[in-house]
Amino acid sequence: DAGITQSPRHKVTETGTPVTLRCHQTENHRYMYWYRQDPGHGLRLIHYSYGVKDTDKGEVSDGYSVSRSKTEDFLLTLESATSSQTSVYFCAISEGVNGELFFGEGSRLTVL
Amino acid sequence: KQEVTQIPAALSVPEGENLVLNCSFTDSAIYNLQWFRQDPGKGLTSLLLIQSSQREQTSGRLNASLDKSSGRSTLYIAASQPGDSATYLCAVRLDAGNNRKLIWGLGTSLAVNP
């Protein structure tokens, strides 16, 4: 299995509070991604990174920000969580831009 | 606009049966296609990646085929086992210059009954 660790795995928070999810990889892959998975929508890309300090928006980036200060770590931040951000969040990595994707175990976030 | 469809949404079969899962896409200009499995409450596990120049890929009891002209990929599972029960997702990467976006299907939920 690809060495991808997400933390926390479960979090319950209240509307308006900031939340940070962490993705840590041991594979030294250049590309890292944050997805959310919701019933009926499948997987949707939030943000991705193509190198240290290099990030770009995905299809559902509003309300989210990311940072990548080291190759191995990719952080997803919800500045002010809303109930619509209740979801399961997955981190993924790939060696090349079109390469095989490998996923973490997911972080389940509930915003009350 | 590329759309990826997986039909049926759910499938239940007895153990030992050979089965085929389908993934259809509307635009044949794809770069590659990847099959995943997802167990309940878990992340996605990559099963097979097929490049657009390939017709099939095999891994153990799994065989994935790709027919770009008909817009279809199939995942064949031989001699199914209860441990194969999971949701199977396909993802199609568009062949569109520098923006090779990944389009996801909603998956087929497979139950293999002992």
Distances (CA, A) of A94 to A2, A48, A50, B81: 10, 11, 10, 30
Check B89 against A43: CB less than 8 A apart.
yes
pLDDT-derived band of residue B94, with 50, 70 and 90 as boundaries? Answer: confident
Interface test with B, best of A25, A97, A103 (most B CBs within 10 A): A103
Check A101 against B34: CB less than 8 A apart.
yes
Check B43 against A105: CB less than 8 A apart.
yes
Check A101 against B43: CB less than 8 A apart.
no
Whole-angstrom distance, CA of residue B19 vs CA of residue B76: 6
pLDDT of residue B98: 63
Share of chain B above pLDDT 90, in %: 88
CA distance B32 to chain A (A): 8
Check A101 against B45: CB less than 8 A apart.
no
Q: Which residues in chain A are contacts of B93 at CB distance < 8 A? A: 98
CA distance A80 to chain B (A): 26
Contacts of B20 (CB under 8 A, 6+ apart): B74, B75, B76, B77
Each residue's pLDDT, cut to its tens digit, for chain A (112 residues) gives 569 999 999 999 999 999 999 999 999 999 999 999 999 888 999 999 999 999 999 999 999 999 999 999 999 999 999 999 999 999 999 998 888 999 999 999 999 9
pLDDT of residue A42: 85
Share of chain B above pLDDT 70, in %: 96
Q: In the structure encoding, which two tokens stand for residue B10, read together?
A: 């759910």
Task: Choose among B41, B43, B102: nearest Cβ to A103.
Answer: B43
* Residue B93 sits at the chain A interface (C-beta within 8 Å): yes
Residue B91: count other Cβ atoms within 10 Å of its Cβ: 21
Residue of A nearest to B34 (CA): A100
Check A45 against B102: CB less than 8 A apart.
yes
Burial class of residue A23 in the structure, from the number of CB atoms within 10 Å of its CB (0-12 exposed, 13-18 middle, 19+ buried)? buried
Check A42 against B104: CB less than 8 A apart.
yes
* Residue B30 sits at the chain A interface (C-beta within 8 Å): no
Residue of A nearest to B107 (CA): A42
